[in-house]
Amino acid sequence: MCGIIGYTGSSQALPVLVQGIRLLSYRGYDSAGVAIWQDGSLRIRKDKGRIEDLAPRWSPDELAGTTGIGHTRWATHGVPNQVNAHPQHDDGETVAVVHNGIIENDLALREALEADGVPLVSDTDTEVFAHLFARAFDGDPVAAARHLLEACHGAFALAIQHAAMPDTIIAVRRGSPLLVGVGVRENLVASDLRPLVGRADAVIDLGEDQIAIVTPDDVRLFDADGAEITAERRPIDHSERDIGKDGYPHFMLKEIHEQPDRIYELVASRIDPKHQRVRLEDVGITDEQWRAFDRVDLIGCGTAFHACLYGAYVLEGLAGIPSRALMAHEYDARKPHLDERVLAIAVSQSGETMDTKIAIQSAVDGGAHTLGVLNVRESVIGRTVNGVLDIHAGPEVAVASTKVYTQMLCGLLLLALRGAQARGTGDGLLAEIAPALKRLPDDVRTVLGRFDRVREAARDVRRAGDMLFLGRGFDAGTALEGALKMKEISYIHAEGYPAGEMKHGPIALVSREVPTVAIATSGPTRERMIGNVREVRARDGEIILVATDGDGDAEKLADFVLWVPEVHPLVAPVVNVVPLQLLSYETARLRGCDVDQPRNLAKTVTVQ
Ligand code: M6R
């Protein structure tokens, strides 16, 4: 979704802003722009399009200043065009604003401004901020920023410039994340860490309703009452700096290949082999609380929701707590019964997804114990919940989630084992699972080493218009995730189903032109999966089978077999999704699609 970058220092701002916009572009955007202070006025350049096309049109001579703000916009209020792109400004162009989030009362504010004779030229809610700030500013930027916090409802992160303040950026945060990057005689403002890496040594996470006044040598922080507060700085750690492609042609492929190392680190840090215990003390759920829970709600969207499906199986199956996976945007509508015996888990890579944030907030309000299974601890959701299980996947840049999904599965399995430990339902369980978890990185590596076989299958499916993905039990979610990966990056229409649903409708779609990917690895659901595969075969459907090494039936039943090693059924979804990730990657690449930044999608969906 939208991205913010701001710079004030002694270097030229334009190259820093353009590079920042490039680094933010993984979030998805349809327009971009910059504002730079020069000779007493703000120079604003912005338009619809990609930064590669826009930046060459922005003349460094006309934008020669050392303080500026930049933005990537993903359209919500108004179509992507020049007028609606950010920075937005007031009628005199004394104020420029870039904004992530939404003003909920923008219609009322627009009407009030128009009634006062203020001309509004864009369709955006952001323009309201520029006019309100310009009218409230009397030389004191904190007072004008406080006026915005008072007048505007919703979630927003803002970077603001005023023509009367040559080297100053005003940052305001409510609901949406905003960081100040602290460098040497230069400071930055950004909506996430990526554009700060390499320039800033430390960051300040703006808290709720805080205002920062950022100049090259100073960062002053104020609360909503205008009182100055201490700005806590934290260093940028090593893993946060890691944002290159490491020689891979795409971030997605790099991130798929990172999975063994990430899984190893997560599992090794959380299992105490000597005492046969899962160590999740920092998550903050006591044995007593575990024993008192009578329901678990797992809440997420997209890939995170698919991880929730698996999480519900393992929490119910291992810890014996009735558990359900729920799409975050449907949560409130159910009017769920909530109290302290409900464990509500928000599963999210970014920790910023608005639907998930709203759902977990209602669980907080209802008195549930809340937990985030997150890749970004210092996120909006991370600050909302009682505890966080950090899945430590490292930065994920590709819009299509891969390594984060397998980390979510591992994190949820560890959580279920911890629950089982506390509730006494896990006797001997860890002894059984620990060796499988230990071997898991190598098993995933084995699958990655079989990319050539996947490439053959991709050459075949690249011309398909539609595809089906089938799985059962723990792998029902794998099927949904395989279909989501395929559709989001290759634009092939793909549907994923628990295979038992086939007879109830989807089997009508089976034909030679609709390849079916079936996950039928060894374990309790294999026989029934093979039954489904035979039904597809009987209707002349093409089959791509994910099967366990040594399965004697696989070659006879399938057009392509994607072999995976024999693993414990509880960890099988982690292994089985990998060939599906590779298949969607390779299919999208062969079809010439923009693998890392698929059309219409944003990495982080910060609107409802
Ligand atoms: O940041 P989150 O994990 O909360 O994001 C949820 C979904 O938007 C995300 O998983 C989306 O479905 C991905 N593009 C899938 O690859």
d(CA 224, CA 243): 34
265: pLDDT confidence band, cut at 50, 70 and 90? confident
Express each pLDDT in 168-197 by its tens digit: 999 999 978 899 999 988 999 999 888 998
pLDDT of 240 reads 55
Establish whether domains 3-243 and 449-590 are of one fold: no
d(CA 549, CA 61): 63
pLDDT of 33 reads 97
Q: Which CATH superfamily is domain 449-590 in?
A: Glucose-6-phosphate isomerase like protein; domain 1 (3.40.50.10490)
Q: Give the nearest ligand 1 atom to 399 CA.
A: 14
**How do the domains of the chain map onto residue ranges?**
3-243, 252-446, 449-590
Ligand 1 and 348: CB distance under 6 A: yes
Please check whether the domain covering 252-446 is classified as CATH 3.40.50.10490.
yes
Please give the positions annotated as active site: 2, 603
Q: Which of 78-82, 224-228, 229-233, 535-539 has the lowest mean pLDDT?
A: 78-82
pLDDT of 192 reads 86
> Which mutation among 308, 327, 349 tests ligand 1's pocket best, with the greatest number of atoms within 8 A of CB?
349
Please check whether the domain covering 3-243 is classified as CATH 3.60.20.10.
yes
pLDDT of 24 reads 87
Q: Please state the pTM of the whole predicted model.
A: 0.74
When the pLDDT of each residue in the chain is averaged and rounded to a whole number, the result is 93
Whether the per-residue pLDDT at 244 is higher than 80: the answer is no
Ligand 1 and 604: CB distance under 6 A: yes
Ligand 1 and 302: CB distance under 6 A: yes
Task: Report which of residues 175 and 280 the model is more confident about.
Answer: 280
Contact 68, 161 (CB under 8 A): yes
pLDDT of 239 reads 55
pLDDT of 360 reads 97
95: pLDDT confidence band, cut at 50, 70 and 90? very high
Task: Report which of residues 429 and 542 the model is more confident about.
Answer: 542
Contact 308, 294 (CB under 8 A): no
> Which mutation among 408, 412, 577, 605 tests ligand 1's pocket best, with the greatest number of atoms within 8 A of CB?
605
Question: What residues have CB less than 8 Å from 18, skipping those under 6 apart?
Answer: 34, 51, 55, 58, 70
Q: How remote is the CA of residue 247 from the centroid of ligand 1, in Å?
A: 25
Residue 60's SS3 state is: coil
d(CA 443, CA 436): 9
Whether the per-residue pLDDT at 337 is higher than 90: the answer is yes
The protein residue with its alpha carbon nearest to ligand 1, atom 10, reads 303
| Across 409-434, average pLDDT | 93
